[in-house]
Amino acid sequence: MAKHRKVPLRKCLVTKELKPKEELIRLVKTKENDVIIDPTGKLNGRGAYLTFDKQVFLQAKDENSLAQAFKMKINLDIYDDLLTLVSEKND
């Protein structure tokens, strides 16, 4: 009988849904207090996850979810980068 691998689940900041890591995009707050997109999911720092969806990114921008999660002021360019990433993947 084959063993079933445990699928790591993470919670989206906006939707509050538990999803497999592959369906989410990870953002990281580094030691230098920069917030960057982590496509590999392995960068050091505090991580937060968002569902990989344009509507979720727009809602996160409206609610300022990343600022609340990382307890710091967030440069709004990160949201533009996320929207660009979604549009590139959908093309």
Distance between CA atoms of residues 32 and 70, nearest Å: 13
pTM score, two decimals?
0.88
79 touches 67 (CB < 8 A)? no
Task: Supply the pLDDT for residue 3.
Answer: 80
Query: Domain 10-90 is in which class?
Result: alpha beta
Q: 3-28: per-residue pLDDT in tens?
A: 888 888 999 999 999 999 999 999 99
Domain ranges of the chain: 10-90
Answer yes or no: is pLDDT of 1 > 70: no
Answer yes or no: is pLDDT of 90 > 80: no
Q: What is the average pLDDT score of the chain?
A: 91
